[in-house]
Amino acid sequence: MAHIVCEPCVKCRYTDCVTVCPVDCFHEDAEMLVIDPEVCIDCGACIPECPVQAIYVEDDVPEKWKSYVALNKEKAKNLPVITEKKEPLAPPKK
């Protein structure tokens, strides 16, 4: 079961999560990160690293963000892998 990056990451894009991923399953675009479900090993290391609580186990994605399951899968195919921490786009949303 893969992990999914959801709406709180949009225009925030903290990258603390990518530094703890043992399999380099994170990809980035101009606004957010996504997780490649084919690479994710469901270790959960990324979840506590996300300061905006944007990462969920696929079965636990809130209903309002279910579209992010397919979005992560599709975007990951065409985006570059990210493995190093970068400056976020914005401070965490409260």
14-60 confidence digits (pLDDT tens): 999 999 999 999 999 999 999 999 999 999 999 999 999 999 999 99
What is the pTM assigned to this prediction? 0.92
Say whether pLDDT at 90 is over 80.
no
pLDDT value for 92: 61
CATH number 3.40.50.720 given to 3-76: no
Q: Which residue, among 45, 52, 48, 42, has the nearest Cα to 8 in the 3D structure?
A: 52
Q: How many CB atoms lie within 10 A of CB 91?
A: 10
The residue ranges of every structural domain in the chain are 3-76
DSSP 18: G
Three-state SS at 73: helix
φ, ψ (nearest 5 deg) of residue 70: -70, -35
List, in sequence order, the alpha helices (H) in 43-94: 67-76
pLDDT value for 51: 93
- Considering only residues 51 and 94, tell me which one the structure prediction assigns the higher pLDDT: 51
